[in-house]
Structure 1
Amino acid sequence: MTKILEDLLQDHRNLARLWDLLGRELNVFKEGGLPDYALVESILDYCINYPDLCHHPKENLIFEKIRERDPAAVGAIGDLKKEHDKLVALTWRFSTAVSNVIDDEQLPRDWFMDVANNFLSFSRNHMQMEEVLFFPAARKTLTDEDWKDLEETVENVEDPLFGKQKQEKYQGLYQEIMDWGGMSDGTKNTGSAP
């Protein structure tokens, strides 16, 4: 497997862990409790500043390479860039809703949960589609030369949360992940995820 695909799959494992953590906080809200809004904000900030700006552009480049090699192969995948654009919109919508709740705006609980669930379900379904259709199509369609070109083209930005040099603003989020049960790849497993 190529380094780009390995990195993208690792990003997916990391995002799945964040979405599980987000789901935990949403369950607290759903049950009438007070979720850790700072944690939720941190997760959404990460989603805005890493996947939307670094992860998805890599996938978009791969998608275009597949389209060049085999236009029929992209038919089952659909419009990947459009899905990424929708993810950006859903992320911002959810982030704005969280900010409004923090600012003490009275929002209907059902509406807030709908916004949150739309973000989570679309994100998870999108990621599953990529792993079932998109990544296999890339492995099957692209040549070694294509992968080499992609490696030279993509900007390698270190993950600010899961990389070696964690950004300070994500330290609390990273610690919560580790305290909650570690990484989905088994880096640390101190307990089971709810």
Structure 2
Amino acid sequence: MDAIDILMNEHRHIERVLDVLERAVVHGRGGGDVSPVLFERAAHFLLTFVDGSHDAKEGEVFQAITSRGLPLGEGVMAALSGQHAMGRELAEELRETARAVTRGEKEPEDIYVLAERYVRLERGHTEAEEGRFFPIVRRLLPVDMMERVRAKFARIEAAHGPLADAADALELAFPLPATPVRRMGGGRPQPWGGR
């Protein structure tokens, strides 16, 4: 498994959390009881594991590309980095809004709108990386460089813990009824749908 395989595997676990957010929004808007704590914990996952761990690993890939002066195009990396920053801002806003709903200062719909925005952004971002960026990286970075990047991933993960375990914990802590999920922002069906 190379560095790109690791990132793509993490995308699958991030998508599980996005699915939880989608089900929570559908359930809440349908009149079901959804605790704002679910959204606060999801925001914690997004900030700690998506921004703090996964995006840091992608940053190592960006650094490897830049250090070799490879012709990937600054525009592509700038756009992806901008999406990382936007995701971080939305996750912080989701966390604060969830806390405000808990205090009775905001309405649940405020959380739902932010969750939808985050899901759309992250699904589009994942599609761009997997469809355009990662294939280019695989062609441009030699195997030895990919191995060095992968070694840096291990240090990043050691600081945060395994992303997959955190996704598991969130799913287990907030079981939601299975609902037909309409994809916010598109995306492909997930292989763990029956899980």
Pick the TM interval, shorter chain: 0.7 to 0.9
Deviation for aligned residue 1:75: 3.7
Is 1:175 equivalent to 2:172 in the alignment? yes
- Return the letter of the residue paired with 2:35: D
| 2:184 corresponds to | none
The one-character-per-residue Cα deviations of 1:43-101 (angstroms, maximum 9, x if unpaired) are: 22111111111110110110222233423445445432222111111111111111111
CA distance in 2, matches of 1:178, 1:32: 16
1:149-164 aligned within 5 A: 149-154=148-153, 155-157=155-157, 159-160=161-162, 162-163=164-165
1:36 maps to amino acid: S
Map of 1:106 onto structure 2: 106
Return the alpha-carbon distance in structure 1 between the equivalents of residues 124 and 175 of structure 2. Answer: 25
- Stretch of structure 1 that moved more, 171-180 or 12-21: 171-180
Q: How far does residue 37 in structure 1 lie from its aligned partner after superposition?
A: 2.8
Is 1:128 matched up with 2:161? no
Whether contact under 8 Å (2:38, 2:174) holds in the other structure is: no
The answer as to whether partners of 1:19 and 1:120 remain within 8 angstroms in 2 is yes
SS of alignment partner, residue 157 of structure 2:
coil
Q: CA RMSD in A?
A: 2.9
Partner of 2:186: none
Name the amino acid aligned to 1:175.
L
Q: Are the structure 2 counterparts of residues 150 and 171 from structure 1 closer, same or farther at C-alpha, using a change threshold of 3 Å?
A: closer
Q: Any conservation in 2 of the 1:42–1:173 contact (CA below 8 Å)?
A: yes
TM-score (norm 1): 0.77
Unaligned runs of 5+ in 1: none
Is 2:136 aligned against 1:137?
yes
Counterpart residue identity of residue 89, structure 2: A
Aligned residues: 180
Which residue does 2:52 correspond to in 1?
53
Consecutive unaligned residues in structure 2, runs of 5 or more? 179-189
> Hey, what's the Cα distance between the residues in 1 that align with 2:72 and 2:172?
44
Percent identity between the two aligned chains: 22
Asked if the contact 2:17/2:170 (under 8 Å) is kept, the reply is: no
Corresponding residue number in structure 2 for 1:20: 19
Q: Which amino acid aligns with 1:85?
A: A
TM-score calculated relative to the size of structure 2: 0.77
Residues 144/78 of structure 1: CA separation in 2 closer, same or farther (3 Å cut):
same
State the SS of the aligned residue for 1:71.
coil
Higher relative contact order (CA 8 A, sep 6+): 2
Q: Note closer, same or farther for the CA distance 1:11–1:26 as it changes in structure 2 (3 Å cut).
A: same
